[in-house]
Amino acid sequence: MEYKIEVNNQEEIYDIGKVAKQAAGSVLLKIKNTVILAAVSRDDTQVDGNFVPLTVQYVEKTYAAGRFPGGYVKRETKPGDFETLTSRIIDRSLRPLFPDGYAYPTQLSVFVLSCDPEVDLQVAALNAASAALYLSDIPVNKNVAGVRVGFIDGKYKINPTNSELKNSSLDLYVAGTKEELLMIEMRSIPTQNAAQIPVAAIEPMLDPALAESFISEQSINEFDEDAILKAIDEAQVAITNATTAYETVFAPLKKDDANLEYKESLANDSIYAYIDEFYASEVRDAISQMAKSERATELNKIIETIMKDDVAIKEEWSKELVSAVMSEYKKKVVRQMIVEDGIRADGRGLRDVRPISIETNILPNAHGSCLFTRGQTQALGVITLGSDKDAQMYEVLTEKGSITDTFMVNYNFPGFSVGEASPLRAPGRRELGHGNLAKRALEPILEMNRLQTIRLVSEILESNGSSSQATICAGALALKAAGVEVKKLVAGIAMGLVFEGDKHAVLTDIMGLEDHDGDMDFKVAGTRDGITALQMDIKLGGISREVLKEALYQAKEGRDHILGIMEEAEKEIVINNDVLPKLELFSIDPSKIVDIIGQGGKVIRELIEKFEVSIDLERDKGEVKIAGENKTKVEAAKSQIMEIVNKPSFNGRGGKGGGRPPRREEKPLPKFIEGEIIEGKVARIVDFGAFIALPGGIDGLLHVSKIADHRVDKVSDYLEVDQAVKVKILKQDGKKIELALEK
C-alpha cells in the first residue's frame, strides 16, 4: 500500500508490503522519478563479540538511468566511491539506534532502481533505509531523517534539488531523530565571479597591445561558527518535522519486536572495586602512555598480575571479565581526570594542541611534499601534478555522461602507523571517508579554472588521533610546496566532548584514547576566516546549543594556532622547480593551426622531438596546449609556435604564397555605450566563454562568468555557434569589448 508524506520541500511515497516481503522489513520509496528499495534482514544466531554486526550496502543500478555499466564487464561489480561513502553515511546514522547487547548479524541493502537527476540520492537512501529498519521486527523504535541544507541567494534552503545545489555556497548534510542529531557533514562550495584568462587567450584578432587578462574573483565561501549553528538549527527543525510525520504514518504498520536475547554487559562491581583499591596508580600510569600499543601492553600486564592474585583465583574471575571491567575502569579514570581535574592522559590542558613540526619538500623527485607531525600523529602529504589527461573520470547516476575530477585525495592507513602487523589492503570505507573529508576541506582554496590535475596522497606514518586532520594540514602545505596557486591555507583539528553528571569538558586536538572514551567527536577544517569542511558524529540529547557553540569556537582557537605554525613553515618552502611539470594553454587564430601541423605533420613532430613536450591542438577553437616535464623547454616550444603563427601569410590560408601582402584598409572602430543592450550572433565558443559578432564587424568577448548567475562548466550547454543573442556592453577599450549575456 502507498503512503504519501509531504515534508521538507518534497513528496515521499512509501510503498509498504509490496516487494521483498521475506525480509525483516522493506519499503519502496518514490520521490519524483526516483525509486529506491531498502530491505533489512538479520540472522538468528548471535556473533561471539559484544558489538552491533551491522552491514550497510548502498548500490546504484545503472539501469536506473538507462545506462550500461562502464568498463569491460557489463554488470555492477565493485562499488564506486559515492556508493561507499553513502553506505557509510547510512551506517553512521542508524547504528546508534540499536539496543545495547544486540549482536545478531544484520544486513541493510539499499538499491537505486530508478533515478531522477534532480533528486538527492543520499537523502532519499537514508530515509528509505530508516523506514525499512523501523518497520521491521528489529527492536529499533525511532525514525531517522536525513536533510540537506543549502545556502542560495542569501537564504538557507532545505533539500535543494541537485540543480539548485550547484548554485549553493553551502552543502550541509544532517541526520537525526526527533530528539537528537546523529551525524553531520558539511562543505563549502566556492563560487566564481570571473576567471583569470591568460593574455594569450584573449581574442587573437585583437591588437596584442590591448589584450589584458581578466582578474579572478573566486570566493572561497568559508562559513563562520554562527552561520554553521544557524544552518544546523534549520536542519533540526526539518528533521523534527520529518520524523514526526514518519512516526504518525509508520507506527501502526510496525511489526512486533522479535523475541531476542541480548548480550549482558561484562561488568562486575567487585572487580571494579578491587582494581580501584589496589591498582589505581598502575592504571593511571598505563593511561599516560601516549601510544595505543604501549598503553594496551601496560594494561594487559596489570590484567595478568590481577589474574595471579589469590582473590582472582578464589573468586574464579575469567580473564575476559577482568579485561572488560578494566576497560570500563580505564574509561572512568580518563573521563574523571578530564572533567574533575582538567588534565588529560598525556598531561595536556583541555585547550592545548600537541607539539607540531613541519618539513616541506623532503622528497626530491616529488612535485611537492610535506611531513606534518602533531604529537604521535604523522602524515606525509605528496602532490603530483598533471594535465587534463590525468584527470579521474567517473559516472554518477544523476549526471549525463562522465564527470572529470581534476583534484584527487588518496588517504592510506597502513597497520604500522598504530603498531599493528597487518597486511596492506585496498582502501576501505574509513580510508575513503577520511580522504573525502580532506578533499572537501581543501578544494575551496584551489583555483576553479586551473589547468592542472592535482593528486594528493596522504601516507599516515603514525596515528594517535585524527590523522584525517593531519592530512588536511599536510595537504595544504604540500600544495604550496608544489607551486600550486592556493588562495589561503587550511588547517584541520579534531575536537572532543566529555560529560560527567552536570559537568562537561570540551577537548582540543583529541588523541585516540579520548576519541574512544569520549561522548562526541567532531572534526573542523577551515581558514582563518571560516570553516570549509566539518564532520560530526554526535548525540545532542542533553547537549545544549551553547555547548555546541562553545566547542565550535574552541575549535577555531585551536585551528588558528595550527595555522600560525603552518604560516611560518610556508615561509621556508623551497619549490622543486627542476622537477615540476609545465602546462601552457593559449589560443591562436584557428586558421594558423595548419601552420603548426605542417605538411604531413612534419612541423609538429619536430617541435615535439626537439622540446620533449606533448602538443594538443583544437582546430575549431584555435587552442594550443603544451605539456612537458621541463619548464624551460615548454616555454621555448610556446615561443617557437608563436613565431610560426605570427609569420605573415600571403595567400589568406596560412600557407606559403607569392606576391606582396595585400594592403589592409583601416576601418574606423564602431563605438558602443557602456550598458547598451544590442543584438549579436555567437561567432565562436571557447572554454573561457564565447566571441559574439557585433554590428560594425567587430567581436566582443562574453566571458564564462557573465553567461549565468552560477558557475558554468560547459559553455556549449548554454550557447551554440550562429545563435542570436542579446548582450550588454560592459566595457570597450579599443578593439577589446567585454560583454554580459542579457537574460
290 falls in which pLDDT band (50, 70, 90)?
low
C-alpha cell at 28: 519502496
* pLDDT tens string 295-333: 788 899 999 999 999 998 988 898 888 998 998 899 899
> With bands split at pLDDT 50, 70 and 90, how would you rate the model's confidence at 629?
confident
Mean pLDDT comparison of 210-224, 285-299, 375-389, 628-642, highest-scoring range: 375-389
Residue 212 binned pLDDT confidence (cut-offs 50, 70, 90): very low
Question: How do 407-412 and 453-462 pair as beta strands?
Answer: parallel
| pLDDT of 208 | 36
DSSP for 640-656? Answer: HHHHHHHS--SSSSSS-
Phi-psi region of 702 (alpha: psi -120 to 50; beta: other; left: phi over 0): beta
Paired with 184 in beta bridges are: 174, 536
Distance of CA 45 to the CA centre of its chain: 38
Look at residue 743 and give its three-state secondary structure.
Answer: coil
- 597-619 average pLDDT score: 87
Q: How is the chain split into domains, by residue range?
A: 2-253, 269-341, 356-571, 582-646, 677-741
pTM passes above 0.75? yes
Tell me which of 194 and 476 has the higher pLDDT: 476
Single-letter amino acid code for the residue at 2: E
Using one digit for the tens of pLDDT, what is the confidence trace for 144-193? 999 999 999 989 999 999 999 999 999 999 999 988 888 999 999 987 54
Identify the helix (H) or strand (E) that includes residue 425: none
Q: Which three cell numbers stand for residue 70?
A: 562502464
Checking DSSP bridges between strand 698-703 and strand 736-741, what pairing results, if any? Answer: parallel
Domain 582-646 listed as CATH 3.30.1370.10: yes
> What angle, rounded to 10 degrees, do the helices at 319-336 and 269-278 form?
60
CATH number given to 2-253: 3.30.230.70
Q: How far apart are CA 34 and CA 65, in angstroms?
A: 10
HSE-CB for 423 with a 13 A CA cutoff: 2
Q: In what helix (H) or strand (E) does residue 729 lie, and over which residues does it extend? A: strand 724-733
At 423-459, the pLDDT tens digits run 988 888 899 999 999 999 999 999 887 778 999 999 9
Place of cell 543520499: 122
CA quadruple 468, 472, 478, 483: dihedral sign:
positive
Superfamily of domain 677-741: Nucleic acid-binding proteins (2.40.50.140)
CATH architecture of the domain covering 356-571: 2-Layer Sandwich (3.30)
pLDDT digits (tens, 9 = 90+) for 84-114: 999 999 999 999 899 988 999 999 999 999 9
Same fold for the pair 582-646 and 677-741:
no
Maximum pairwise Cα distance, the chain: 115
The C-alpha atoms of residue 630 and residue 659 are separated, in whole angstroms, by 41
Nearest to 733 by CA among 690, 695, 700, 697: 700
